[in-house]
């Protein structure tokens, strides 16, 4: 029996129940502190040691390290465990899909991960935990241990291109799936948002689960405005049996 391929595009809204604030909502980070945007803008980060020091403190104090997967993350992992072909394309950098039990190979992180660091000079990678340990020990802007270069998280900063391989795989999934669910995303940030249109154009059933209207609502077969923590698990139950 052929099983329905379900693709899920997740945005910040899926993680707010885990205690991680979104960026563009009414209480989002960019609205509360416009200066915070500089801390995740590549050119500012590379040019200004003070921006880097503040960025490391922001990473150290991030809600991500205390967050646990919520019912929505677990429902997606449960779909995979039920044998449904599922792929997650996420705009989030928190790693909660994987912590919920979803196979890492089923998750495409469009905007990278907050859980690792990379050297902007030599490309060496290591864990964020290790880097934050150095910050805690007194290094306010820890350099690369290999070459002395500037370290940053493996998240995609403003001013950086997305990983083209990850984007290409995401486009392929959007074209191939039968169901495309956009959950907790404003669908305003390109090119991630365009995946919803690509999926709809390819004949997928587009379902949007988001508190606020999105530019793609008119293309959707279904728009759900209810809280994600209850709406998504109920929605995914439909696809557990083929």
Segment 102-111 mean pLDDT: 97
Going through 107-237 in order, the beta strands assigned E by DSSP cover 107-109, 112-119, 125-127, 151-155, 179-183, 205-209, 222-224
Segment 175-182 mean pLDDT: 98
Residue 3 has pLDDT above 80, yes or no: no
Residue 24 has pLDDT above 60, yes or no: no
pTM of the model: 0.91
How far is residue 187 from each of residues 59, 160, 207, measured CA to CA in Å? Answer: 25, 19, 12
Tell me which of 61-65, 106-110, 143-147, 194-198 is least confident.
61-65
Question: How far apart are alpha carbons 41 and 119 in whole angstroms?
Answer: 16
Question: How far apart are alpha carbons 173 and 125 in whole angstroms?
Answer: 27
Residue 54 has pLDDT above 70, yes or no: yes
What pLDDT score was predicted for residue 1?
40
97 with 136: CB under 8 angstroms? no
What pLDDT score was predicted for residue 150?
98
Counting residues of the chain whose pLDDT is more than 90, the rounded percentage is 86
Residue 27 has pLDDT above 80, yes or no: no
* Second-level CATH architecture of 22-66+114-155: 2-Layer Sandwich (3.30)
pLDDT in tens, 184-236: 999 998 899 999 999 999 999 999 999 999 999 999 999 999 999 999 999 99
Tell me the domain boundaries of the chain.
1-20+69-111+162-242, 22-66+114-155
> Buried b / exposed e across 65-78, counting CB within 10 Å, b at 16+?
eebebbbbbbbbbb
Question: How far apart are alpha carbons 81 and 101 in whole angstroms?
Answer: 9
Residue 13 has pLDDT above 50, yes or no: yes
Q: What rounded mean pLDDT belongs to the chain? A: 93
Counting residues of the chain whose pLDDT is more than 70, the rounded percentage is 93
Tell me which of 44-48, 60-64, 152-156 is least confident.
60-64
Residue 158 has pLDDT above 70, yes or no: yes
Tell whether domain 1-20+69-111+162-242 is in CATH 3.40.50.1980. Answer: no
Catalytic residues: 111
Segment 54-61 mean pLDDT: 94
Residue 52: CB atoms within 10 A of its CB come to: 20
Question: How far apart are alpha carbons 97 and 119 in whole angstroms?
Answer: 25
């Amino acid at each position: 029996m052929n099983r329905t391929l379900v693709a899920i595009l997740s945005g910040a809204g899926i993680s707010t129940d885990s205690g991680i604030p979104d960026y563009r909502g009414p209480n989002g980070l960019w609205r509360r502190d416009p200066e915070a945007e500089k801390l995740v803008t590549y050119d500012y980060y590379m040019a200004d040691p003070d921006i880097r020091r503040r960025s490391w403190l922001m990473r150290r104090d991030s809600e991500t390290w205390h967050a646990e997967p919520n019912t929505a993350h677990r429902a997606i992992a449960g779909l995979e465990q039920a044998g449904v072909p599922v792929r997650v394309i996420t705009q989030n950098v928190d790693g909660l899909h994987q912590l919920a039990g979803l196979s890492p190979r089923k998750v495409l992180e469009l905007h990278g991960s907050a859980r690792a660091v990379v050297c902007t000079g030599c490309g060496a990678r290591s864990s964020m935990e290790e880097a934050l340990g150095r910050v805690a020990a007194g290094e306010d802007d820890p350099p690369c241990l290999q070459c002395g270069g500037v370290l940053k998280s493996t998240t995609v900063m403003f001013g950086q291109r997305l990983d083209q391989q990850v984007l290409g795989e995401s486009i392929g999934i959007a074209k191939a799936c039968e169901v495309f669910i956009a959950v907790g995303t404003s669908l305003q940030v390109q090119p991630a948002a365009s995946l919803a249109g690509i999926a709809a154009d390819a004949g997928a059933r587009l379902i949007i689960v988001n508190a606020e209207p999105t530019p793609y609502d008119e293309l959707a077969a279904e728009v759900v405005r209810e809280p994600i923590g209850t709406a998504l698990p109920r929605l995914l139950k439909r696809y557990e049996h083929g």
